[in-house]
Amino acid sequence: DQQVKQNSPSLSVQEGRISILNCDYTNSMFDYFLWYKKYPAEGPTFLISISSIKDKNEDGRFTVFLNKSAKHLSLHIVPSQPGDSAVYFCAASDSNTGKLIFGQGTTLQVKP
Amino acid sequence: DSGVTQTPKHLITATGQRVTLRCSPRSGDLSVYWYQQSLDQGLQFLIQYYNGEERAKGNILERFSAQQFPDLHSELNLSSLELGDSALYFCASSPWPEMNTEAFFGQGTRLTVV
């Protein structure tokens, strides 16, 4: 049972345009959501997070939107840069169980 | 450099064998997490230790075990290895016990079971 799903395995975007990465979840008890970025041969690095009490969190070019009624979150990168090309994982945390569940990842390619 | 060190980087072993993966967390971090990433899969949470005690358990097989030592480094022991155990194993650390905070990942250990 996949509680966190990233339905798009890959996304290709032109440099300077917006990248939108999507993530859906099934567990209504999730109360924190995080995005990690992973380059080849490296471990994931934290990008941005959002609490379930918010619907938007922004950090520079990165904005995460949370729609609790739809159990959906998205990561917007504006403007996209070639250095953003990586695998992006969304993750959801349930404070009651103390576990963090990751999605399968979306590979973003930003073309110059 | 995340400050988290995992050794070895690569490991090739035969089915039925036992291996130990080692993780040194960032200085001062009390939480250590272990994750498994199989081919085309997301990161599967295995287990978390906080200040030497097991705090949370995920989908960790009975053939696998872990511990965190007084100096806070951690080891993941995998025994009776099967072909399906071939994966990237990541260790992460953070200062806090909660998993909803930023964690710092090592570069991973790639385990190949032949």
Res. A63: pLDDT tops 70: yes
Indicate the SS3 state at residue B31: strand
| d(C-alpha B35, C-alpha B55), whole Å | 14
When pLDDT is averaged across residues A21-43 and rounded to a whole number, the result is 94
Q: What is the pLDDT of residue A1?
A: 65
8 Å CB contact between B105 and A44: yes
The chain-wide mean pLDDT, for chain A, equals: 94
With pLDDT > 70 as the criterion, what percentage of chain A qualifies? 99
When pLDDT is averaged across residues A76-87 and rounded to a whole number, the result is 97
A19 Cβ partners below 8 Å, 6+ apart? A11, A13, A75, A76, A77, A78, A80, A84, A108, A110
When pLDDT is averaged across residues B48-73 and rounded to a whole number, the result is 95
8 Å CB contact between B67 and B88: no
When pLDDT is averaged across residues A1-30 and rounded to a whole number, the result is 94
Beta bridge partners of A20: A76
Task: List the structure tokens of A94.
Answer: 């349930």
Give the DSSP letter of residue B84.
G
CA distance A64 to chain B (A): 15
Considering only CB atoms, which residues of chain A are within 8 Å of chain B? 4, 6, 31-32, 34, 36, 41-46, 49, 89, 91, 93, 95, 97-105
When pLDDT is averaged across residues A72-90 and rounded to a whole number, the result is 97
